[in-house]
Amino acid sequence: MKNQTLKNEVRGILEQTLNYSRSTRFCDKLSDLNFIETHVLRVLGKYASGRDYLQTLEDDLENDRIARATYFSSLHSERRRDMIGECENALYKTLGVEMALENVDHFRKFPELDEYDISSFDGHYRKHACHAPRDDKGKYRATGGIFGLNMRNGLMQSLVTTDFTVSKTNEIKAFKKRFGASFIGKRKMICLLDMAYWDGPYWQEVKALKQNGIYVITLMKDNLRPTKEVAQEFDRNHPYNFGVESVSEVTFRSGASSTKIVYRDPETKKKYVYLTTISKIEPGLVAHLYLHRWKIEKVFDVFKNKLYEKKTWADGEVSADIQASAVAMAYNLLLRKQEIALADEGVFEIKLEEKQKKAIAKRVDRAEKKGRKVHPLVLIPHKFFQMSAQYIRYFRNNLRSTSLWKDLIPGFEKTMACYL
């Protein structure tokens, strides 16, 4: 691939995903490959609107012209929605295999977690489309979707579009409807979730359906009142459990039971209360895992502020699904270039790594001045899923370049080494 342009490499990867779709059809006005490529490149570019994007394509003599009506009608095609969803899933799986072969695993330092997939799920909302109708209260409603972040390799996947409200209740209903069908039958999984996703009976049911088990870690809601609580023993001398005050088995009115962990951060002295359905790992590691949940928010920040996906492309659930798949595919292609192609050349986001080291050193110094300590797991460097704007800009700027990939490597290295 070193002798390809960046755009041709992206096109080749997207073309391969079509081999895994059952929904492909011939269309002389806009082929399925051009459909996927058009929408993924729209995300990777920086455009104020669909019309802005189409004019850019038309002004570029190397691109085939796409009629405005053809482009916007494609956003409402249920078949194309299914097709790009299948391609997104194929890209997620193939890149996952590639990363495993390259030993990309951000939890490899924790052998006690080897048997588990670890994912974070949360909702992400975009501003309504230009011509979206108002609701019965005369207000515009945001378009919502739920994404999952694979914590081991950083890949994102769109899970489901919600019913266009910012209500957590509707978000959770949509999540439940799709989650079980998507993940039952795979490896053991630990899910890191916002407390709004807690539903004891549901998670017990999911755990029972799956032979290997799906486990959840979340914060406990203040208004949850167990009907029974039994203290549990744990290894207070284990370094992971520094800050853990108590562990207990709790049962709720519904009959569902889980493990309650009370943890006081030794650095800030702030207390956290967790609920989890997993009992085979140290409670301090449970608390540490949950702190990684915020990484999905960092990816959403990339979506919104670096890929500029702040607004819905068109009205309707079908177009929302298409956009969500395109955004996830674009992000994963950016991640692949970082984690595989550039890493093989010894090129890394050095500036972000240095920033992390300085932040940890400041936390240690601040804690020591107060007579406190940071948790030992904090001292273990972890992967940031926050891509730098410089990296994304350089990638974006060279999508239309005729330079070969091998000739772009020095530029990527310079861009990722330090802040301009």
- Return the minimum-mean-pLDDT range out of 15-19, 37-41, 319-323, 385-389: 385-389
172-208 pLDDT per residue, tens:
777 877 776 566 556 788 999 998 888 877 777 766 6
Q: Residue 382 has what pLDDT?
A: 73
Average pLDDT of the residues in 58-62: 66
Decide which of 311 and 372 is more confident.
372
Q: Residue 419 has what pLDDT?
A: 74
CA distances from 119 to 113, 154, 399 (A): 12, 9, 31
Neighbouring CB atoms inside 10 A of 314's CB total 21
Question: Is 25 among the domain residues?
Answer: yes
Decide which of 364 and 207 is more confident.
364
Neighbouring CB atoms inside 10 A of 262's CB total 17
The answer to whether residue 13 scores a pLDDT higher than 90 is: yes
The answer to whether residue 133 scores a pLDDT higher than 70 is: no
Q: Residue 370 has what pLDDT?
A: 94
Q: Residue 209 has what pLDDT?
A: 53
- Using a cut of 0.75, tell me whether the model's pTM lies above it: yes
Question: Is 248 among the domain residues?
Answer: no
Confidence class of residue 263 from pLDDT cuts 50, 70 and 90? Answer: very high
Decide which of 161 and 113 is more confident.
113
Q: Residue 199 has what pLDDT?
A: 83
294-333 pLDDT per residue, tens:
899 999 999 999 999 988 898 888 999 999 999 999 999 9
Share of the chain above pLDDT 90, in %: 54
Angle (CA) 189-210-84 rounded to 5° is 65
**The two structure tokens encoding residue 263:** 């943890």
Q: Residue 184 has what pLDDT?
A: 57
Q: Reduced to 3 states, what is the DSSP secondary structure of residue 226?
A: coil
Average pLDDT of the residues in 29-52: 91
> Alpha-carbon Rg of the chain, whole angstroms?
23
Question: Is 334 among the domain residues?
Answer: yes
Q: Residue 163 has what pLDDT?
A: 56
Q: Residue 304 has what pLDDT?
A: 93
Helix (H) or strand (E) run with residue 67 in it: none
Calpha distance 21→38 (Å, rounded): 18
264-295 pLDDT per residue, tens:
999 999 999 999 999 889 999 999 999 889 89
**Residues 137-163 as b or e (16 or more Cβ within 10 Å = b):** eeeebbbbbbbbbbbbbbbbbbbbbbe
Question: Is 82 among the domain residues?
Answer: yes
Question: Is 325 among the domain residues?
Answer: yes
Question: Is 49 among the domain residues?
Answer: yes
The answer to whether residue 1 scores a pLDDT higher than 80 is: no
Average pLDDT of the residues in 43-60: 85
User: Into how many domains does the chain fold?
Assistant: 1
Residue-range definition of the domain harbouring residue 332:
1-104+316-343
CB-neighbour burial class of residue 19 (10 A; exposed 0-12, middle 13-18, buried 19+)? exposed
User: Quick one: residue 414, left, alpha or beta (phi over 0 = left, psi -120 to 50 = alpha)?
Assistant: alpha
Confidence class of residue 169 from pLDDT cuts 50, 70 and 90? Answer: low
Q: Residue 347 has what pLDDT?
A: 86
Decide which of 95 and 59 is more confident.
95
> Do residues 375 and 243 lie in contact, with contact meaning Cβ atoms separated by under 8 Å?
yes
Count CA atoms closer than 13 A to 282's CA, side-chain side.
18
Question: Is 415 among the domain residues?
Answer: no
Average pLDDT of the residues in 403-416: 90
Confidence class of residue 118 from pLDDT cuts 50, 70 and 90? Answer: very high
Question: Is 36 among the domain residues?
Answer: yes
